[in-house]
Structure formats: structure tokens, C-alpha cells
Amino acid sequence: MSEGPDNKCPHHGISRRGFLTSVSAGAAVAAVSAGGVAEAPAQEVLAAGNAVTIRLNVNRVTRRVLVEPRWTLLFVLRDLFGFTGTKVGCERGECGACTVLIDGRTRYACMILAIEAEGHEITTLEGLMDGEKLGPVQRAFAEEDAMQCGFCTPGQIMAVEGLLRQNPNPTIEQIRMGVSGNLCRCAAYQHIFKAAAKAAELKKKGGIA
């Protein structure tokens, strides 16, 4: 089917030349590595003229990536960087499955644009590990059986991690408040509260049981 004299798709208003140019630009950014900066794979579809290059500090590594201004941090973390511990849930700031830490405080990755996170320190679930060794909060969740289906668990762990960074010795009520923004459909809350208390003790001991 002809796209008309200006070679544009009648439904999207993006020219064939513009589409190919945006893809080529993405491939170039992915292929060229700046010193000490990781590169994200190029996206196959970018709106012509809208893509920008940003640098995100994720888990103590600076990554350069080509993004559209409308993309959320959740999308970039999962689909471009591969940090799948950050879960896709409601995508409207209600369930907490996508919880990450930004400058040490809990935030919903689905409610933040990737470009807004530039210049800040981002920590995902994967960033709590030391190689293959679990962090104190992750260990506490495993030892206290603080999960059932496990889907909400990464967000719950990040909520507890954020709480303990701000308050190393929380009361049970403070723990309840600290994870109140994270929903567990399986209702494993009592085990989550116990895991949070245990994680606080592990952190005091330097992660040693």
C-alpha cells in the first residue's frame, strides 16, 4: 500500500526515513562505549526526533541509554537494562511491585520518568546482592518464609530495605507503615513483618546470623 507522496505512514505520521534514522541512531549509541559507562541495547522503535541520551546510575554502575521522554524508569530498568527484579504490576502507583530506591528512599519506578532519574542513585533488588550472596533483607525474607506466590516479594524487600536505611531499629508499627504501600495478594503480611524485624537484627550484626 502506498504511503503517499511525502512517504509518511497515514496513521502515525512517521516517515520511513525518520524511522530508519531513529533506529540507526539507537544502534550507534548502543555500539559506542564511553569509558566506564555501560551501554543499553538499542530499541527497535523510537519516535522520530524524540529520543534523547541519558545516563543512569543503577546499582553503582553508570549506564548510557537512548530513551524517549515518555518512557518510565520501570520500562528502562526491565526492558533495556534487564533488571527484572523490578516487577510490572498496576503501573499506576498502587501495588508497590516496582519499588526501587532512589537516593536511598523508596519510590515507585512506574511513576517516574527515566529522564527524571538522571543524576540520582538508583538501587534495584539486584543491587542488594554481593555477587551471588543475598543481602540481609533478602536472607531474612527467605528464612522467615515471607512469601507465597512471590510476585510482590521484590517490592516488599525494597520497601523494607528503604525503611531500614532511614530507621535501623523500627518498631512493629513503623514496619507496618513502612510496607503499607506494598500489596500482597496472598496476605503474607505477618511473615513480612517478622522478616523486616529479622533483617534489622541482621543489619546490626553486619549481615551475620
pLDDT given for residue 156 in this prediction: 98
pLDDT given for residue 26 in this prediction: 41
**Is residue 152 over pLDDT 50?**
yes
**Is residue 25 over pLDDT 90?**
no
> Comparing 5-19, 170-184, 195-209, which segment has the lowest mean pLDDT?
5-19
pLDDT given for residue 50 in this prediction: 85
Average confidence score pLDDT of the chain: 84
pLDDT given for residue 158 in this prediction: 98
Q: Where are the beta strands (DSSP E) in the chain?
A: 38-39, 52-58, 61-67, 99-102, 105-108, 121-123
**Is residue 193 over pLDDT 70?**
yes
> Comparing 4-8, 19-23, 45-49, 150-154, which segment has the lowest mean pLDDT?
19-23
pLDDT given for residue 38 in this prediction: 75
- The single-letter DSSP state of residue 44 is S
Q: How far is CA 122 from CA 21, 100, 166, 193, 197, in A?
A: 31, 7, 16, 25, 24
- Asked if 20 and 11 touch (Cβ cutoff 8 Å), the reply is no
**Is residue 9 over pLDDT 70?**
no
How far, in whole angstroms, is CA 91 from its chain's centroid?
A: 12
- Interval 6-31 mean pLDDT: 40
pLDDT given for residue 74 in this prediction: 98
> Comparing 12-26, 43-57, 94-108, which segment has the lowest mean pLDDT?
12-26
Residues 170-185: tens digit of each pLDDT: 999 999 999 999 999 9
pLDDT given for residue 14 in this prediction: 43
For CA atoms 74, 77, 80, 84, the dihedral sign is negative
pLDDT given for residue 41 in this prediction: 60
- Distance (Å, whole) CA 192 – CA 146: 5
- Interval 35-60 mean pLDDT: 74
- Interval 80-88 mean pLDDT: 97
Q: How far is CA 168 from CA 137, 179, 207, in A?
A: 12, 15, 13
Domains of the chain: 16-128 (3.10.20.30), 136-204 (1.10.150.120)
